[in-house]
Amino acid sequence: MSANGRLAGKIAVITGAASGIGEGATRRFVEEGAKVVMADVQDDRGRALCAELGAHARYTHCDVTVESQVSAAVDLAIAEFGRLDVMFNNAGIVGAVGRIADTSAEHWDRTVAILLNGVFYGMKHAARVMVPQKSGVIISTSSTAGILGGLGPHCYTACKHAVIGITKSVASEMAQHGVRVNAISPGNTATAMTSAVMTGRADSIDAVTEHIERSSLLGIAGLPIDIANAAVYLASEESRYVTGHTLVVDAGTTTVGGNGRFHQQDSAILREAGIRERA
C-alpha cells in the first residue's frame, strides 16, 4: 500500500478478483498504490479480501456474463474513487470439456459467455470512461491455450485465441484516445482452478505446484504472483509504449518447446549422431 508505488493513485477494476490470479493481482495492485474495485461472484471470499485491504478496495457482486453487472462495476469505481485507470478482464472458468463431437451447445455457450463476452463487456464499459478522459489501460487474461492448440479444451482454446484477437483489434481503435490494450497469456499456474482440473480438487494446490515444477523448463511453478507482476507492468507507466501486445508468462513453454537436450554435451542423442556421422 505504497503512496509511491508503481500504480500510485491509479484506480482499477479487476474481474475474478476473489481468488487465483485475480486475488494475486488485487493484492499486488494495492501494494503498488492502486485502489481496486473487486468484481466477482464469490461473495464470501471477495468480501473477506476487501475487508482485509480496507480503504484501498471495494467489492461488488459481478457475473461477467451480465453486461449490466460489468457496467455497474465500472460505475462503482467512478462513484467511489472518481475515475478508472485500469480494467483487468480476468474472470474465467475451464468450461466445456470433452471431444468436439460430444460438446453440448449449452456448455459451449456458457463458456463463451464468461471467457469472451465478459471480456467484450469489460472493454466496452472501460472504453466509455477512458475515451473521454483520454487515458487508461485495458488488460485481459488469455492463456497459452490462446497461442497453441492442444493446451486446453476446445471452447477454452477458441475463446482464449479470441481474447488475443479482440485485444489487437481494440488496441488499434483505442490508441488514438491514449488508451493502451494488452493481454496476458499465463502458462500452467498453481491456482484452485488448475488444481480442480488436474486433481479433481480445488484445494490440492501443493500437489499441483509440484507437478508444474516438474514439467517447467525453468524448474519452478508459475504462481498467481507471477501473472500479477505482469499485470502491474502492463498497468504502469513502465509499459507506456506497449499496446496490442500479448505478454506470455509460461516459463518458455510456447516459445522454446523442447527441453534443451541437444545442448547437453553428454546427450546420448548427440553421441549417437556423432557415431553415425563418422560412419
- Is 59 marked active-site? no
Please tell me what DSSP assigns to residue 230.
H
Q: How far is CA 225 from the centre of its chain?
A: 11
Catalytic residue, chosen from 19, 142, 143, 185, is 143
> Any catalytic annotation for residue 156?
yes
Q: For 86-139, write each residue's pLDDT tens digit.
A: 999 999 999 999 999 999 999 999 999 999 999 999 999 999 999 999 999 999
| For residue 205, pLDDT beyond 70 | no
Q: How many C-alpha atoms does 11 have within 13 Å on its Cβ side?
A: 19
Q: What is the mean pLDDT of the chain?
A: 90
- Residues 6 or more apart whose Cβ sits within 8 Å of residue 11: 34, 35, 36, 37, 77, 81, 82, 83, 84, 85, 86
What does pTM read for this prediction? 0.89
Other beta carbons within 10 Å of 213? 16
Hey, where are the domains in the chain? 11-187+222-278
Q: Which among 121, 160, 185, 239 is annotated as catalytic?
A: 160
- What number does CATH give the domain 11-187+222-278? 3.40.50.720
**Strand blocks (E) in the chain:** 11-15, 35-40, 57-61, 86-89, 136-141, 179-186, 246-249
- Segment 171-190 shows an average pLDDT of 94
Task: Please pick, among 35, 121, 142, 156, the residue that the annotation labels catalytic.
Answer: 156
